[in-house]
Amino acid sequence: MTGTGICTGRVAAVTGAGRGLGRAHALALAAEGAQIVVNDLGVAPDGAGSSAGPAQQVADEIRARGGRAVAHTGDITTTDGAASLVATALDAFGRLDTLVNNAGFLRDRMLVNLDEDDWDAVIRVHLKGHFLPLRHAAAHWRAEAKAGRGPDARIINTSSGAGLLGSVGQGNYSAAKAGIIGLTLVAAAELARYGVQINALAPAARTRMTEQTFAGTMAAPAEGEFDAMAPENVSPLVVWLSSADSAGVTGRVFEAEAGRITVMEGWRPGPTADRKSRWTPAEAGKAARELLAAAGTPQPVYGAR
């Protein structure tokens, strides 16, 4: 495999790596010298079914290019599946340096049509599917740190513009992706002492998950033109965040699409009024109106009219 070798000697586990962004990340990490655990349950875009094929195909592709990879088809939304992801890395390669949490699927509905099963399934795969691998990887790295083998570990979580701004018809997905940002910030603060850096990425690319949401706006370009929505455009930032070169970068959220990288800046205090005593409802309302008039206009929710 070719590349600069920025991840040579490192071992990375990538969830949801059988297709789309996860596949692009796994191939890019391998091209830069990383050894890869390719996790994918092989489900349909709505989470139905399962197949070992996608994970195995990507692992085979990495090996065919001269890299090292193993397939993992466990369900990372279960304790056993998440624990076995870490165990697979240790058994196959003797270490784990990077976890890229990427697995997910969609069950889009307007809120009044969104049933409990669709809510639970999407929260489970995105939010719980980030927490459990993170928790088991962190436990391993904490044990390493306490044993005097200080890790230089990385976690890259996958959020979305829907988690930053909301997206009409994706209440479950938006809530899960917003939760991932909160999880990232807490994990970055808690795990720094063990040599673990955690960042979040809000990517935009043409994948199975976005082809319906952005139908007609993410078509492949003509031959020879830059494919702005190719998943591979997002992966270089993931590779860098996975590497030792990203030392000191933690608790941050990035947007990445096409040739653009943006550092996202979250909630910060805006206009404030403090009367040093209790407000009446009318006074609170008057103050709130004045503060809103002085505040910036929020970015619109995706899909809002």
Active-site residue list: 160, 173, 177
Q: Are 14 and 100 in contact (CB under 8 A)?
A: yes
Q: Are 218 and 210 in contact (CB under 8 A)?
A: yes
User: What does the alpha-carbon distance between residue 242 and residue 118 come to, in Å, rounded to a whole number?
Assistant: 32
User: What does the alpha-carbon distance between residue 114 and residue 111 come to, in Å, rounded to a whole number?
Assistant: 5
Amino acid letter for position 216: G
User: What does the alpha-carbon distance between residue 136 and residue 140 come to, in Å, rounded to a whole number?
Assistant: 6
Q: Is 11 helix (H, G, I), strand (E, B) or coil?
A: strand
Q: How far apart are the first and last CA of the chain?
A: 47
Interhelix angle 171-191/129-146, nearest 10 degrees: 10
Tell me the longest C-alpha to C-alpha distance in the chain: 71
Q: Are 155 and 101 in contact (CB under 8 A)?
A: yes
Supply the DSSP symbol for 230.
Answer: -
> What angle (nearest 5°) sits at the alpha carbon of residue 76, between those of residues 99 and 22?
50
Strand order in the sheet with 35-39: 69-72, 35-39, 11-14, 98-101, 153-158, 196-203, 253-257, 260-264
Q: Are 246 and 197 in contact (CB under 8 A)?
A: yes
